[in-house]
Structure 1
Amino acid sequence: MSPDTDDDPFEDQKERVDNPMRRLFSEYGRENTFQFVVGVLASIAARVLDLLPPVILGLAIDAIIRQEKSFAAGFPVLPEAWIAPFVPPGRSGQFVLAVGIIVFSFTAGAVFHWLRNWGWNSYAQQIQHAIRTDTYDRMQLLNMDFFADKQTGEMMSILSNDVNRLERFLNDGMNSFFRLSVMVLAIAVVLISYNWQLAMVALLPVPLIALFTWKFVDIIQPKYADVRSSVGKLNSRLENNLGGIQVIKTFNAESHESDRVDDVSMDYFDANWDAINTRIKFFPALRILAGIGFSLTFVVGGLWVINGQGPGPFTGTLEIGEFVTFILLTQQFVWPLAQFGQIINMYQRAHASSARIFGLMDEPARLAEQPDAPDLTVSEGRVEYDDVTFGYGDGETIVEDISFEVGGGETLALVGPTGAGKSTILKLLMRMYDTDEGSVSIDGQNVRDVTLSSLRESIAYVSQETFLFYGTVRDNITYGTFDADDEDVIAAAKAAEAHDFISNLPDGYDTKVGERGVKLSGGQRQRVSIARAILKDPDILVLDEATSDVDTETEMLIQRSLDSLTADRTTFSIAHRLSTIKDADQIVVLEDGRIVEFGTHDDLLGDNGLYAHLWGVQAGETDQLPDEFVERAARRQAEIDAGDD
């Protein structure tokens, strides 16, 4: 089983990425070359200095205490002629030199250990920050249907878990790789330079450890894949439940949701414990192999020193100090080999995470913008839909052959049953999606030919699904118009009939609204959202059920303010309460994604068609409705799903 599990919601994106780790280092590592070089060089220096104390200890035993060899001749690898000029005569002088070297190794080693940690941590943190911000920036450019297919928890997993996993590899993994590589190679060189025969004994477990580590990685990877899949499901369940906590409470479903969380949490527990159980068996087994290597070295070396000659096929001499150095270094040698398994594991997890990250970065945006696209220039505010057809990419057409024109400063209302395509039509105006056929233009400029920023700067949108950001009331009103002063904020709030209730809040405009505005009522949130649109002072105003969450009295007050706001700007309004749009200059009536009626309120009532029947429903005249209308309404209701209308 591959670590790239079939449950991964970003599997399609990952498959498009070639050599994600090479891309990681080439695109992001190159910008932090200095920290990388500091980390590598400091790792080498720190490890070499760490090896000096056991080498000096063995040398002191043989050259100073037992006086069986020259102090200068005892340094591994380095020629005696290089060392001799720096060695003082006499045992006391050499002892002071040995102590000085040991003290220097610990002191300088501490400095290089600090430099090593600074280099790798800085390297990892810089890349982590750059990747997270770049990934988020790319997410903001993706079209809305991409987000419709992904849960919030899954998207958060990319920005949090995957980016953090890269940081752990770049810091801990890379740090450990160079540290252990230097240690293993340096110790091997020292041991071979002292006594190549005994070194072969010490190195004997290496192939077994390598084989054992490879097998461990092969076994543990599918288990880690199960862990990642289960934690993703757990996060999605928790995110979903916390977002719907009010529904859970009002429907007394706490115990039901507790059971569901318990189920996904137990799945995570089982998967994680399976991986842990495998891992905690691996390291004791490695200790056994390491112990075998140490024991063999101790037995062979001990007999060699006791008998004064090598046991069995071993030849030559082995000094006591050399034997002590062998024992000390063998302990430091075998265990780092076992840790390479963890590094390989971290690398493979980072590989999977980088593939997900770069796969998301490479996700093609359906909303392409020409490099030389001009800014939108709004003069009159005239909007034209010309034979517009659109579907969400799953083969189903949502709106078809939509054509109408709205003059500058006019108000156009869109009405129709749920699922008729009203919100979709307005999202095409703002280029949340692009038309499949036909065009949408403002003052003769196709919205696909101008910059997205200038297009959306000219339009204010008030959605039926009011969203407030965590922060203060003022933060939410000024969102998108960040430089507005207090006077303008208050004026916008008054126009939205929000100033009075805001003034009565504990901290007025500085009151925290809570997560998604949970501290405010639905009507209050809607009025803050309307104030945000009023403050923007747009050329075109889009009201998508803007008064759906307010009571009748507040709706009347808001409608009075909106009448003033819409007097000199092009306005689109979606409303199920037909009384709020009866004074619109034009009304478009939609059914099943097509325009079935078009005209003023009085004209449409006179036609006695769909609009007149919808008006009759709201007027309570249900007994006078034709059977055909009732049957169509029942059929539509049965086909409604969770999508936008």
Structure 2
Amino acid sequence: MSGVDWDDDDPFEEQRENIDSPMKRLLFEYGRPYWGSVTAGITGSVLARLLDLIPPILLGVAIDAIFLQDKPFSVRFVPDGWLPTDSTGQFTFTVVIIALSFLVGAAFHWVRNWGFNSFAQDIQHDVRTETYDKMQRLDMEFFADKQTGEMMSILSNDVNQLERFLNDGLNSAFRLGVMVVGVGVVLFTINPQLALISIAPVPLIAAFTYVFVKKIQPKYAAVRSSVGNVNSRLENNLGGIQVIKASNTEGYESDRVEDVSRNYYDTNWGAINLRIKFFPGLQVLSGIGFVLTFFVGGYWVFQGAPGPFTGTLDVGEFATFILLTQQLVWPMAQFGQVINMYQRAEASSERIFGLMDETGRIEQDAGAEPLDIETGRVEYDDVTFGYTDEETIIDDISFDVPGGETVALVGPTGAGKSTVLKLLLRLHDTDEGAIRIDDQDIREVSLSSLRQSMGYVGQESYLFYGTVEENITYGTFDADREEIVAAAKAAEAHDFIENLPDGYDTMVGERGVKLSGGQRQRVAIARAVLKDPDILILDEATSDVDTETEMLIQRSIDELTADRTTFAIAHRLSTIKDADQILVLEGGRIVERGTHDELLENGGLYSHLWGVQAGEIDELPQEFIERAQRRHARTEISDD
């Protein structure tokens, strides 16, 4: 069993390295349609924070003018003619304005939260759906190279990580920016000399934060990658739980999960360790401003201007300074949280765009015309294909299938039979040669029309989580119950479906786990029957059913294939002996072709395979047995 090196680099590392300014791309490419909501959020944030400055300013005025009566009652930016002249009226005015600032501020806080939450949710939704849509349209080589858990991690964890920054991060950034600027302006207006003391730590905070950003960025990128490794391991193990139990390897798999979990633990703890050192340090630097303000301002109030400072500082002004400096200290300390969220979001954005920018080998021309099928004639013209440049799976194959005929592909395991038909579906593209349907090159027609014209039943009958009916109608969503039942009867599935607890409304479980392999296969065949395709592809379509059920299904398939071009792959040769043409593949080449009787008379590979299934092993030539041993050895090597 070949393993996965969980310490490998991020599978999207190459794409991530080519992505410039992922956060800028996120905000301008996906945020542009939602500028209205984020503008509302920003406006609400600015006004709410400006209103938050009113209570400490009025408190300072009230202390000096109303309680100590050291100064006249005057409020900046408010004409004196608007203000009461008696102490009671001034006190009432102060209380009312403070109360209104809280009430109106609460309304703006709601606008702020609505705007940023809406902005975050809209972008998150668009990014997830567009990333998924791009991913599912990539060709099969992409999925062969990537772990499902890694892709799930991007579509789930990384996309969710964006929400925290787009909502809390952006919200906090504007809130803190307004508070720092607003508080700074007020402090400089009251006493510019003391204001310099209050903001003295800002350059130190900026330098400290810069160092943190440089160190934390690669750590967060490693954390996001390690999360994908954990998800991949868990996804693999849960998908293979039956094999794990049957093999008695629970302990072995627990150790492997522990390994990837430990790697995530170590990687994440490295980021956490840096983060938990940064925030206390940031708070200390921020607190220096508060302590200095309290010390210098307090001394100024009861001893006069210290050292180089000049002028006076009233008690009310000092109280305002203390309250506003506290509001300045906490924003500066919380700014590190914003940087932290930004770095996490940037690491996730790189992985998301790494997936989104993935390119595949299969491309469709923008002006591709739909496939127009008249007879269903299929032609393979000197087709060669390999999954990699170093390996050729299909080598110079040519054959012609007249419309309405059935052609069977047989041969040893690894001969390339399934690959030949995947090329017809354009799950892969040919390296050389061409495939045509009614003289139309399949690379020049639209993918949707090509695949809509075909019905495919594969070796693995995959069922989606849902009801039996939903799985039969998958791809033919507008079918009515009468058509569904007719398709199920044609696939010999109706009787067992009727015996299920809820009939056609029975939930089949994830991957159809509640049904047997034969039942899943019959549901998949019913799906193809309901689609009524022009071209039918049966890739080991009866491999998971018993002999009796296979006979019944074969009878229905014979009716289904009567008037349409059909390709069938079967290791059980009895199911394809009536095909109009049989192609025998070995090593990616067609080594024989003809009808069943013709191939038996030739005494070649087909007749030997027939002899194996007929139990005539002792009569097989030694050369055939030796070739089978060599093929088996090559297959084992390619599987490692």
TM-score range, shorter chain: over 0.9
Report if aligned partners of 1:590, 1:597 keep a CA contact under 8 Å in 2: yes
Match of 1:513 in 2: 508
Q: 2:110 matched to 1:114?
A: yes
Which residue, 74, 85, 92 being the options, matches 2:88? 92
Which residue, 116, 119, 123 being the options, matches 1:127? 123
Q: Distance in 2 between matches of 1:353 and 1:260?
A: 25
Q: Secondary structure at the match of 2:63?
A: helix
Match of 1:102 in 2: 98
Q: Distance in 1 between matches of 2:70 and 2:565?
A: 100
Q: Distance in 1 between matches of 2:347 and 2:226?
A: 16
Displacement of 1:166: 1.9
Match of 1:176 in 2: 172
Displacement of 1:642: 9.4
Report if aligned partners of 1:28, 1:127 keep a CA contact under 8 Å in 2: yes
Which residue, 67, 70, 84 being the options, matches 1:68? 70
Pick which of 375-384 and 117-126 moved more: 375-384
User: In the TM superposition, what whole-angstrom CA distance separates every residue of 1:127-148 from its partner, at most 9, and x where no partner exists?
Assistant: 1111111111111221111111
Which residue, 296, 299, 302 being the options, matches 2:298? 302
Tell me which amino acid in the other structure corresponds to 1:162: D
Match of 2:9 in 1: 7
Match of 1:249 in 2: 245
User: In the TM superposition, what whole-angstrom CA distance separates every residue of 1:249-302 from its partner, at most 9, and x where no partner exists?
Assistant: 111222221222222222222332333233223322333223322222111111
Q: 2:33 matched to 1:37?
A: no
Report if aligned partners of 1:35, 1:122 keep a CA contact under 8 Å in 2: yes
Q: 2:425 matched to 1:430?
A: yes
Tell me which amino acid in the other structure corresponds to 1:582: K
User: In the TM superposition, what whole-angstrom CA distance separates every residue of 1:95-118 from its partner, at most 9, and x where no partner exists?
Assistant: 111111100110011000000000
Match of 2:592 in 1: 597
User: In the TM superposition, what whole-angstrom CA distance separates every residue of 1:65-116 from its partner, at most 9, and x where no partner exists?
Assistant: 11222322x53xx4xxx52122111111111111111001100110000000
Tell me which amino acid in the other structure corresponds to 1:41: T
Report if aligned partners of 1:46, 1:112 keep a CA contact under 8 Å in 2: yes
Which residue, 51, 56, 65 being the options, matches 2:58? 56
Report if aligned partners of 1:389, 1:399 keep a CA contact under 8 Å in 2: yes
Which residue, 444, 450, 456 being the options, matches 1:455? 450
Pick which of 111-120 and 436-445 moved more: 436-445
Displacement of 1:361: 2.7
Report if aligned partners of 1:217, 1:341 keep a CA contact under 8 Å in 2: no
Q: Distance in 2 between matches of 1:276 and 1:166?
A: 19
The list of structure 1 runs, each at least 4 consecutive aligned residues, that deviate by more than 6 angstroms after superposition, is none
Tell me which amino acid in the other structure corresponds to 1:586: Q
Which residue, 541, 550, 561 being the options, matches 2:545? 550
Q: Secondary structure at the match of 1:640?
A: helix
Tell me which amino acid in the other structure corresponds to 1:450: V
Report if aligned partners of 1:376, 1:451 keep a CA contact under 8 Å in 2: yes
Match of 1:155 in 2: 151
Q: 2:268 matched to 1:266?
A: no
Q: Secondary structure at the match of 1:558?
A: helix
Which residue, 125, 137, 141 being the options, matches 1:141? 137
Match of 1:21 in 2: 23
Q: Distance in 2 between matches of 1:582 and 1:590?
A: 16
Unaligned runs of 5+ in 1: none
Q: Distance in 1 between matches of 2:114 and 2:637?
A: 51
Pick which of 482-491 and 165-174 moved more: 165-174
Q: Secondary structure at the match of 1:408?
A: coil
Q: Distance in 2 between matches of 1:340 and 1:169?
A: 13
Tell me which amino acid in the other structure corresponds to 1:329: L
Alignment of 1:269-280 (within 5 A): 269-280=265-276
Tell me which amino acid in the other structure corresponds to 1:183: M
Alignment of 1:86-485 (within 5 A): 86-307=82-303, 309-485=304-480
Displacement of 1:216: 2.5
Q: Distance in 1 between matches of 2:186 and 2:637?
A: 70
Alignment of 1:478-497 (within 5 A): 478-497=473-492
Displacement of 1:554: 1.0
Tell me which amino acid in the other structure corresponds to 2:10: D
Report if aligned partners of 2:158, 2:348 keep a CA contact under 8 Å in 1: yes
Q: Distance in 2 between matches of 1:600 and 1:204?
A: 92
Displacement of 1:470: 0.1
Tell me which amino acid in the other structure corresponds to 2:422: K
Q: Distance in 1 between matches of 2:394 and 2:509?
A: 37
Report if aligned partners of 1:177, 1:343 keep a CA contact under 8 Å in 2: yes
Q: Secondary structure at the match of 1:590?
A: strand
Displacement of 1:643: 7.6
Tell me which amino acid in the other structure corresponds to 1:422: K
**TM-score of the two chains, using structure 2 as the length reference:** 0.96
Match of 2:4 in 1: none
Unaligned runs of 5+ in 2: 1-6
Tell me which amino acid in the other structure corresponds to 1:361: M
Displacement of 1:162: 2.0
Match of 1:586 in 2: 581
Shift of the 12–223 alpha-carbon distance from structure 1 to 2, 3 Å rule, reads closer
Match of 1:638 in 2: 633
Displacement of 1:528: 0.5
User: In the TM superposition, what whole-angstrom CA distance separates every residue of 1:370-394 from its partner, at most 9, and x where no partner exists?
Assistant: 2222211111111111111111234
Match of 2:3 in 1: none
Pick which of 478-487 and 15-24 moved more: 15-24
Report if aligned partners of 1:206, 1:334 keep a CA contact under 8 Å in 2: no
Pick which of 463-472 and 373-382 moved more: 373-382
Q: Distance in 2 between matches of 1:404 and 1:435?
A: 15
Report if aligned partners of 1:398, 1:421 keep a CA contact under 8 Å in 2: yes
**TM-score of the two chains, using structure 1 as the length reference:** 0.95
Q: Percent identity?
A: 70
Pick which of 361-370 and 558-567 moved more: 361-370
Q: Secondary structure at the match of 1:389?
A: strand
Q: Distance in 2 between matches of 1:512 and 1:134?
A: 29
